[in-house]
């Protein structure tokens, strides 16, 4: 790749709004001059992730990840540095020259090829749905379900032709190798020429960045499962994805809630009805990773799964997953055993809006469920119901929330809250697995006075001019302080003296963390000039003492003239040192 010029990078970084960039992926709330949210890099339920727009950095006090907006995209979206700069450029309207594609390793290349393949195919399927006579049935089905043109196009819905030889022929002509196609997840594993999706309405599954990563397909005629889901591939992991998440992100953030439905048609029906914060869990149980994905943007999840037994069981299993992620789960009561798609089809969008107003909280849902499943008027039934509630009690992090949960459920089961709590404590004691320890952090950088000075100057770059006029690199003993000094000098020459840039030039990761932590915590923000003055005085004093030491060593050598010269210099040094001491004593 042609290296992106430093001036372009600077222009991109200057125009980048780090709060907006990170805010797309993390729900940020203002806290004074900073913003905070749940760290997307480690599991947590109370925010230790900060964005400091003034300094152009983010930092997590929990796991130590931090840096500028480009670094965030590199970590979060697994982009290379040039890719991150290009993405920021696109957001901020700075044109970043497109160089030759980077020579990447095989795995990256395979992923890129897969993205390209799925993108191309989703466009072709969408074109077929719009234009082919054979897709008539699929178009009718959508219209009947209340899904109009705009939504059909927005979701890039498509049609996979009935001819089983079409896909292999179509892709073969595009020059893809048979081995690559065999691993693409588009063909049967037993019959490499046989496409997974044929004569089906096709739902492209997008990742959170809106890139097509897989397909789901609904049968239109003939035999076979009604819905088919694409298999796992290097670019598609079911557990990490929620259908329609890319379309729903903004609405989820804005409403602080997400609706979780069961299938493609349900999620699309919500969107067709103008309820844009809906996603679907892609036919698997709601996973921890899906919960985390949502929790970054919203605090409430409303489960709107089918009213049948399977759907209700799925909700019961999903609730502790949501609670563990710090989500407040609600359950929508869908009337008459209908799913959201049926409600839209039969009663219209108004009715779907109405239904979503009827939600109950997790405790009420579980009590209802327990009363349906067990005869709580008997002792045996009560015991079973208590067992049923245990996983939910365990999922709460806060004792207060857990207590109130037991209080409510105990009342509903006509048992005493204290006996329910005692049961819970006993169960927990007998369980062998402990809670996972918080993530390890590298040992913190031990700070010498020199390093403290350099960190303070790195946070407040404007002081560097003064520092470099009084202090030379060779005067600094601490290896780490020297590394910061070098980064400062480089940034000074490039005229990019902000902490985000300085951090990028520091190689040692623990040192980067120390700097980011200092910047994000604001520890040098009070009277930085005094800190710098003190630091400089200290450094000067040490320099003087060193010279004095050398003079004292040499005093015995040489003749009278040399001794006299050394003594004069010593006197001078003594005076300087005394002056430094006075200056410091005068301070309050």
Which is closer to Zn ion, CB of 39 or CB of 167? Answer: 39
Q: Nearest approach, Cβ of 523 to Zn ion (angstroms)?
A: 19
Q: Nearest approach, Cβ of 40 to Zn ion (angstroms)?
A: 8
Does residue number 259 form part of the binding site for Zn ion (CB under 5 A)?
Answer: no
What DSSP element (H or E) covers 90?
A: helix 81-92
Which is closer to Zn ion, CB of 36 or CB of 218? Answer: 36
CA 47 and chain centroid, separation? 13
Which is closer to Zn ion, CB of 27 or CB of 238? Answer: 27
Q: Nearest approach, Cβ of 87 to Zn ion (angstroms)?
A: 22
Q: Nearest approach, Cβ of 51 to Zn ion (angstroms)?
A: 12
Q: Tokens for 511?
A: 């040192």
d(CA 192, CA 226): 22
Which is closer to Zn ion, CB of 72 or CB of 286? Answer: 72
Does residue number 513 form part of the binding site for Zn ion (CB under 5 A)?
Answer: no
d(CA 318, CA 288): 9
Which is closer to Zn ion, CB of 44 or CB of 423? Answer: 44
- Quick one: 52 exposed, middle or buried, by C-beta within 10 A (0-12, 13-18, 19+)? buried
Q: Nearest approach, Cβ of 42 to Zn ion (angstroms)?
A: 4
Which is closer to Zn ion, CB of 64 or CB of 535? Answer: 64
Tokens 């065999």 belong to which residue? 182
Listing DSSP states for 177-224 in one string gives -HHHHHTTTSB-SSSTTSBS-SSEEEEEEE-TTS-EEEEEEEE-SSSS
d(CA 196, CA 236): 16
Does residue number 41 form part of the binding site for Zn ion (CB under 5 A)?
Answer: yes
Which is closer to Zn ion, CB of 56 or CB of 66? Answer: 66
Q: Nearest approach, Cβ of 452 to Zn ion (angstroms)?
A: 25
- Of the ranges 32-40, 154-162, 252-260, 571-579, which one interacts with Zn ion (CB under 5 A)? 32-40
Q: Tokens for 236?
A: 């598609």
The strands making up 227-229's β-sheet, listed across from edge to edge, are 158-160, 200-206, 212-219, 227-229
Q: Nearest approach, Cβ of 469 to Zn ion (angstroms)?
A: 39
Under rule CB under 5 A, how many of the chain's residues touch Zn ion?
Answer: 6
Among positions 42-81, residues that touch Zn ion (CB under 5 A) are: 42, 60, 62-63
Contacts of 22 (CB under 8 A, 6+ apart): 28, 35, 37, 51, 58, 69, 72
Judge contact between 420 and 392, C-beta under 8 A. no
Judge contact between 470 and 535, C-beta under 8 A. no
Q: Nearest approach, Cβ of 296 to Zn ion (angstroms)?
A: 12
Does residue number 39 form part of the binding site for Zn ion (CB under 5 A)?
Answer: yes
CA dihedral 14, 20, 25, 30 (to 10 degrees): 120
- Of the ranges 31-39, 135-143, 212-220, 441-449, which one interacts with Zn ion (CB under 5 A)? 31-39
Which is closer to Zn ion, CB of 61 or CB of 180? Answer: 61
Q: Given the rule CB under 5 A, which residues bind Zn ion?
A: 39, 41-42, 60, 62-63
């Amino acid at each position: 790749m042609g290296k992106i010029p430093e001036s372009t990078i600077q222009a991109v970084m200057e125009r980048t709004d780090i709060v907006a960039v990170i805010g797309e992926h993390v729900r940020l709330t203002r806290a004074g001059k900073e913003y905070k949210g749940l760290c997307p890099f480690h599991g947590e339920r109370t925010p230790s992730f900060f964005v400091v727009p003034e300094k152009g950095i983010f930092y997590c006090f929990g796991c130590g990840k931090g840096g500028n907006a480009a670094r965030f995209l590199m970590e979060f979206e697994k982009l290379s540095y040039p890719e991150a700069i290009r993405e920021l450029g696109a957001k901020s309207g700075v044109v970043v020259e497109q160089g030759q594609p980077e020579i990447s390793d095989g795995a990256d290349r395979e992923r890129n090829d897969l993205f390209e393949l799925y993108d191309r195919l989703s466009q072709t399927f969408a074109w077929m749905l719009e234009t082919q006579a054979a897709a008539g049935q699929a178009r009718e089905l959508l219209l009947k379900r209340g899904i109009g043109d705009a939504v059909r196009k927005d979701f890039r819905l498509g049609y996979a032709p009935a001819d089983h030889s079409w896909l292999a022929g179509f892709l073969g002509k595009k020059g893809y190798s048979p081995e690559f196609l065999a691993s693409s997840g588009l063909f049967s594993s037993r019959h490499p020429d046989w496409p997974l999706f044929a004569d089906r309405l096709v739902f492209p599954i997008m990742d959170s960045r809106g890139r097509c990563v897989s397909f789901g397909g609904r049968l239109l005629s003939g035999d076979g499962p009604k819905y088919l889901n694409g298999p796992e591939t290097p670019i598609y992991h079911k557990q990490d994805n929620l259908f329609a998440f890319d379309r729903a992100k903004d609405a989820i953030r804005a409403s602080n809630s997400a609706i979780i439905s069961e299938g493609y048609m349900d999620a699309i029906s919500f969107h067709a009805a103008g309820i844009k914060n809906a996603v679907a869990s892609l036919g698997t149980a709601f996973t921890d990773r899906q919960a985390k994905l949502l929790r970054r943007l919203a605090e409430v999840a409303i489960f709107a799964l089918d009213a049948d037994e399977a759907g209700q069981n799925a909700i019961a299993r999903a609730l502790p997953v949501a609670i563990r992620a710090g989500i407040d789960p609600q359950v929508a009561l869908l009337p008459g055993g209908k799913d959201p798609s049926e409600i839209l089809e039969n009663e219209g969008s108004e009715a779907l809006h109405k239904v979503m107003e009827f939600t109950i909280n997790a405790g009420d849902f579980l009590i209802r469920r327990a009363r349906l499943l067990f005869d709580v008027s008997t002792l045996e039934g009560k015991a079973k119901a208590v067992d049923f509630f245990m996983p939910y009690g365990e999922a709460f992090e806060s004792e207060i929330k857990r207590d109130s949960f037991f209080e409510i459920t105990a009342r509903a089961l006509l048992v005493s809250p204290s006996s329910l709590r005692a049961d819970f404590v006993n169960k927990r004691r007998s369980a062998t697995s402990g809670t996972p320890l918080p993530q390890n952090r590298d040992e913190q950088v031990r700070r010498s006075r020199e390093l403290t000075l350099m960190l303070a100057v790195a946070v407040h770059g404007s002081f560097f001019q003064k520092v470099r006029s009084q202090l030379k690199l060779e005067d600094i003993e601490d290896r780490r302080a020297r590394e910061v000094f070098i980064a400062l000098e480089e940034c000074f020459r490039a005229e990019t003296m902000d902490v985000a840039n300085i951090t990028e030039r520091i190689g040692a990761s623990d040192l980067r963390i120390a700097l980011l932590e200092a910047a994000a915590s604001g520890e040098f923000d009070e009277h930085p000039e005094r800190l710098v003055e003190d630091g400089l005085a200290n450094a000067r004093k040490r320099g003087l003492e060193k010279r004095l030491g050398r003079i004292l060593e040499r005093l015995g050598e040489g003749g009278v003239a040399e001794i006299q010269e050394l003594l004069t210099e010593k006197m001078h040094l003594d005076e300087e040192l005394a002056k430094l001491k006075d200056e410091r004593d005068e301070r309050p």
